[in-house]
Amino acid sequence: MSRKYYQEEYETMPRDKIRELQSKRLVEQFKYVYDNVEYYRNRCKEAGVTPDDIKSIDDLDKIPFTCKDDLRATYPYGLFAVPRKEVVRIHASSGTTGKQIVVGYTKGDLDIWDDCAARQLVAVGADEDDIVQDAYGYGLFTGGFGIHGGATKLGCQVIPISSGNTQRQITFMQDLKSTVLCCTPSYAAYLGETLKDMGLTPKDIYLKAGIFGAEPWTEEMRRDIEKSLGLKAYDIYGLTEVLGPGVAFECSEQAGMHVNEDHFIIETIDPKTGKRLPDGEKGELVFTALTKKAFPLMRFRTKDIGVLNVEKCKCGRTFVRMSKPMGRTDDMLIIRGVNVFPSQIEEVLLKQGYAPNYQIIVGRENNTDTFEVKVEMTPEKFSDVIAEVKAQETKLENALLTILQIKAKVILVAPKTIERSEGKAKRVIDTRKLHG
């Protein structure tokens, strides 16, 4: 029988002990960040906070927030707290402009990440006998490597197949007898469909569990995926800035995601006032990393909206559970698992000599996100020769691909044909209905 927990001592720690541990770690970590990150130290000085003021977790509110803008301002290494030599891995994700946000890990940080991901795998019933098909993207995105590290540490057999090449995914599921599938929920749904299209059923494969995250998905989608692939589908949450997959994980109860509270403090705040909200009230999720050394963010504002539940879970874990993210406070879109900001698109258009008259149209067909960008030609660029228009569209598609790392279909339209707005421009039309 597979084990119930990966690190029982932490995962089932009584809540008062968790608080004690967090309190001790917060005091040490705040001093560590203050001493080692000049940018953050200056922020604290402006706020009039020094390590002497942070005596326990009760002082958390005094600690200034970190936001995505701070990551942009300090690009690439300005928030790192260790000498560059100690950084053994870099990951990155999109910023709101052309520049990526870059994060780093020491060997010790990777070890913590592996533990967090291994906890998730154990929570879905995996052990050394399992074969994990890791179909998250490998590369700068944290999904592939994050799950990979946890699965390796647990002793599973990992198939680092990455995303894409869908028929081969199914062939490997059959031939290599994968038991755990890890990928974005939309890709899981697409794999389910492909299985059917290939004339196969869940009986022809061996999957028992799936770990799906990195983008919003509904309970309805969960049921569909479970049926089409014949597995139990679990949610996993994470973000590049804080760790990657494994910040929070779902257990057998499938009723919220346990936050790895020995490594992170989670808070919900009112996004307008920045005031902390009581548990159970919907607000912006904020994370403080307690143990990471290379890129240790204090009170990072995620812009994800969620709710916390401190009730004891039937699985025996005592870690607080966060709901699925219920939306965002900014305009970030997640398309095919990739984070996209309208401002990135606008920047490309302006650089290519277009006016900022455009519309982003996102939908879902056959469980795959569709992504179109409608752009007005300027009078100078206007042409009614199809081949010329096509060439301009392709050029723009390539420029967008370079910045976004995801393909958009560009449709050029005649000047002055995109509706002008009298108030805020409605640039995004998203028909996916992803928040339940």
Residue from the set 224, 235, 262, 284 that interacts with ligand DLL by CB under 6 A: 235
Could you tell me the maximum CA-CA distance found in the chain, to the nearest angstrom? 71
Considering only 44-52, 209-217, 288-296, 346-354, which stretch makes contact with ligand DLL by CB under 6 A?
A: 209-217
Rounded to the nearest 5 percent, the helix, strand and coil shares of the chain are 35, 25, 40
Say whether residue 302 binds ligand DLL (CB under 6 A): yes
Residue 56's Cβ-side half-sphere holds a number of Cα atoms within 13 Å equal to 4
Say whether residue 236 binds ligand DLL (CB under 6 A): yes
- Beta-carbon neighbour count of residue 430 at 10 Å? 14
Burial of 388-402, coded b for 16+ CB within 10 Å and e otherwise, reads ebeebbeebeeebee
User: What amino acid occupies position 292?
Assistant: K
* Residue closer to ligand DLL (CB basis): 6 or 34: 6
SS3 138: coil
Shortest Cβ 269–ligand DLL spacing (Å):
15
Shortest Cβ 52–ligand DLL spacing (Å):
33
- Of 302, 321, 199, give the one whose Cα is nearest residue 249: 321
Shortest Cβ 32–ligand DLL spacing (Å):
24
- Rounded Cα distance between 22 and 371, Å, is 42
Residue from the set 100, 106, 142, 357 that interacts with ligand DLL by CB under 6 A: 142
* Residue closer to ligand DLL (CB basis): 421 or 431: 431
The contacts of residue 38 (CB under 8 Å, 6+ apart) are 78
Considering only 17-25, 149-157, 233-241, 398-406, which stretch makes contact with ligand DLL by CB under 6 A?
A: 233-241
Q: Pick out residues in 244-263 that bind ligand DLL (CB under 6 A).
A: 244-245
Calculate the CA 92 to chain-centre distance.
11
* Residue closer to ligand DLL (CB basis): 334 or 389: 334
Pairing status of strand 131-134 against strand 180-183: parallel
Q: Pick out residues in 72-101 that bind ligand DLL (CB under 6 A).
A: 93
Q: Can you state the angle between helices 185-197 and 219-229, rounded to 10 degrees? A: 40
SS3 336: coil
Considering only 12-20, 22-30, 229-237, 390-398, which stretch makes contact with ligand DLL by CB under 6 A?
A: 229-237
The contacts of residue 171 (CB under 8 Å, 6+ apart) are none
Say whether residue 283 binds ligand DLL (CB under 6 A): no
Residue from the set 57, 290, 334, 377 that interacts with ligand DLL by CB under 6 A: 334
* Residue closer to ligand DLL (CB basis): 298 or 410: 298
Considering only 167-175, 236-244, 352-360, 419-427, which stretch makes contact with ligand DLL by CB under 6 A?
A: 236-244
Residue numbers at the binding site for ligand DLL (CB under 6 A) = 93, 136, 142-143, 213-216, 235-240, 244-245, 302, 304, 324-325, 328, 334, 339
